[in-house]
Chain A
Amino acid sequence: MAKPHELWSAMSDVPGYRPIPEGAMPTHPFPDYRSNPVRVPRRPLVPIPHTLSEVTGPVYGHEAVRTAEADLTTQHAGAPLGERIIVWGRVIDEDERAVPNTLLEIWQANAAGRYIHQLDQHPAPLDPNFTGAGRAVSDSQGNYRFVTIRPGAYPWKNHDNAWRPAHIHISLFGPSFVTRLVTQMYFPGDPLLPLDPIYNSVPDPRARERLVASFDLEATVPEWALGYRFDIVLRGRRATPMEA
């Protein structure tokens, strides 16, 4: 089957985005993730061109984001329990160009592995000083930075004795509808990673490893917090509409 871009490149007036490389994104159905098969289509996805509708997208709410929203440790009267960390990185595209001024939204469990969400039934304590949600906007170089605490692992009912590796959920928009990305950041050396179906749903192991942050001594603030670096790569644009 022809890729949408090959099919349409000669007819398109707007440069679209490159096709997603084989293995870089999870595909479906993926039965190891128990709730996946009943929620994914059985008929093949229909490839479509990147029209003006797909190459545009929301520049959403950026004006309203306050600097303080990037610090998840100062949202309450006291400091949250747990290991304070700095999570920072660059948002770039496949051509390594900065993606500036894009909204990042994060959410996570507390240090005990419990979400403040009312549906989280894990019998671990809530932390009155931790909500676990933050927002930031990438700067002109694509850089972003959050201060938070290291989330705990938590059990889920996917299979017998199933535990999610520690992770931070990250949502970002990028410059168009097709650059929209919701992902999760993991921590280096987590022994739960090889056992986690969600992490392992990414077919290409090199792509999978891009979900793991690296410890960053330079970003570590002495006597205060460990630093982790997590660069995020969004889809890159084709050079011209005619590029095959």
Chain B
Amino acid sequence: MAGLTPSQTVGPFFHYALTDDHTVSELASPQTRGQRITLRGRVLDGEGRAVPDAMIEIWQADAEGRYDHPDDHQDRPRDPTFHGFGRCASDERGCYTFRTIKPGPVAGPGNTLQAPHILVNLFARGLLKQLVTRVYFAHEPLNDSDPVLGLVEDDGRRATLIANAEGDGSYVFDIHLGGASETVFFET
């Protein structure tokens, strides 16, 4: 067995290598199937201050719940116009924005079905290893039986994983690194 290479912080100076030229904030093309959404929010530290130097990466299935990955053997067609990866840097107000489609439900452990969700890897100066969370969508019937959401017992804490719809078709998902409304982060 080979020993793992440890994680180290992304630091404050990643933009010119990772996001200036290699941002992916538009995930859907005009041909992509599914409901267009804007996923946006702010990244805030434990004292409620904006985190202006975070990198947010997302990973999601297409509108049918298929991932663009060889290990997804679900018996349903994949949308070839959609790849499901996004990344961007937060701005000086801690804001991030992705334009994408709402993912479909994905198979879960056993015979479960996971509610529509988007995975998040968050990197920033100060973090020695990325933080992992998931974005779920308000009013999805499958949320009540989702096998991962169900692991978060406290209602208030579970609410930190739910993006709420705004009038303009966007879903807002703020990421609180600490404080009273600290977002649930996962150990994977």
Contacts and interface: CB of A to CB of B under 8 A. Distances in A.
Interface of A: 4, 8, 11-14, 17, 20-21, 24-26, 28, 30, 33, 35-43, 45-61, 92-96, 105-107, 115-117, 119-120, 131-134, 169, 171, 175-178, 180-184, 198-199, 201-202, 206-208, 210-211, 231-236
Contacts of B45: 38-39
Contacts of A38: 45-47, 126, 177-178
Given A13-B110, A48-B151, A117-B12, A35 B126 contact: yes
A41 B185 contact: yes
A39 B104 CA distance: 32
Most chain A beta-carbon neighbours within 10 Å: one of B8, B18, B183 = B8
A134 B12 CA distance: 17
Contact of B109 (A13, A26, A28): A13
Main DSSP-derived SS at the A contact region: loop
Interface stretch (B31-39, B68-76, B165-173): B68-76
Contacts of A199: 8
Contacts of B9: 33, 182, 184, 198
B61 A169 contact: no
Interface of B: 1-18, 22, 45-47, 51, 57, 59, 61, 67-69, 71-72, 74, 83-85, 106-110, 114, 117, 119, 121, 123-131, 134, 147-148, 151-152, 157, 177-178, 182-188
A202 B3 CA distance: 13
A40 B5 contact: no
A115 B16 CA distance: 10
B116 to A, nearest CB: 11
A183 B7 contact: yes
Given A13-B109, A39-B51, A53-B114, A20 B4 contact: yes
A12 B112 CA distance: 10
